[in-house]
Amino acid sequence: MTAKLFEPLALGPLELPNRIVVAPMCQYSASGGSADADWHTQHLMTLAMSGAGLIVVEATGVEPRGRITHGCLGLYNEANEAALARALAAARRVAPKGTRFGIQLAHAGRKASAQLPWQGGQPLEPEADAWTTVAPSAIAFGDGWPDPRALDDKGLATVRGAFVQAARRAAQIGFDAVELHAAHGYLLHEFLSPVSNRRNDAHGGTAEGRMRFPLSVVEAVRAALPAGIPLGLRITGSDWVEGGLTPADAVQFAAACKAKGAAFVCVSSGGIAANVTVPFAPNYQVPFAERVRKETGMTTRAVGLIAQPEQAEAIVRDGKADQVALARSLLDNPRWPWHAAEKLGVDLDYPPQYLRVKAKLWPGAKLARPPEARGGGVIGPSEIQLDGKTTSCVR
């Protein structure tokens, strides 16, 4: 039986070679929003060689104040565009045939103007070049965080225009897909959640009011992108806060996005407020994706503590999601798709320079793979079993 994980998938008009997605992962290594020539290039090239069907570039600020930190990637000027274009071109050169590249466009809202994670991740002090953050309401993210400035109609139009302009730059660079970040407590999510949106105008109150601005961004970005580039979103399945968003809200928002032309959603959770307990466990967010997929018919991606090939295969085989997205699993092991294919009996394309590490060509593969990916019995220190034969490891 063919592994479902490695079957092709149509993402709107875009054909993907398999159902493995590299989730967007902030690197906090940009300068003025521009990709670092060394770090981002090697990072994206490494991920490009993985064999994943879709690689999504990290959350990319649509305007300077929309970055989480000073080190976050941006796509709001020509320098940003040129630097990212160079990194993407390098990644494409080493990617297997059929690999696609997407970008996640984001605005951090009230969670912006923060330190780098390894410097504490707290709000920037004024002397560290902090900036005024914006949000749907003037409510701080948590204790010690500054009150953001509530966006007025002019501010809403400015942010929406920034998303549109960034999407046009992404298309010009050559990205195959665009994803809007509407989760993890960032600006679009802040509008959606009653935890952070206490407005009493047309952009607050009811669920329809809270969805109004995010949906206007979806509609404007969809209109700005060429028809061949699918638009999707990362949304939240739960705020994990009493009175916050629930899976039913995720279904409602996904359906509304679909009606505006969105082709897919990635269903995550959390991040709307500080000091919230999230019940982390393998597959803990998969039920959210499963419900959205079942009730909307939308192409849906599951994410969150997915680490084992059999685990990922079961999610797509059992119809709980159409794709799985991996983040830290791929930072830990950039060859995860290679090893998953090997474990599931699929012959995946490797860069020709690395063909010699395929299990059928390299006797050392059975020593190098972790035991759970290896199969078979106990292997001695100086020999391995390869196709029923004993082969010396000494060359």
Residue of 28, 186, 284, 354 with catalytic role: 186
* Tokens 């982390």, residue located: 280
Please report, for residues 40, 76, 228, 250, the alpha-carbon distance to residue 168 in angstroms, rounded to integers and kept in the order given: 21, 10, 13, 27
- For residue 107, which amino acid is it? H
User: Is there a catalytic annotation at residue 186?
Assistant: yes
Structure tokens at 357: 């590490």
CA-wise closest residue to 187 among 179, 178, 197? 197
CA distance 267 to 271: 13
Structure tokens at 350: 């490797």
Residue 172 sits at the vertex; the CA angle it makes with 111 and 154, to the nearest 5 degrees, is 45
Residue 22 sits at the vertex; the CA angle it makes with 331 and 58, to the nearest 5 degrees, is 85
Q: Are 96 and 155 in contact (CB under 8 A)?
A: no
Q: Are 260 and 215 in contact (CB under 8 A)?
A: yes
Residues noted as catalytic: 186
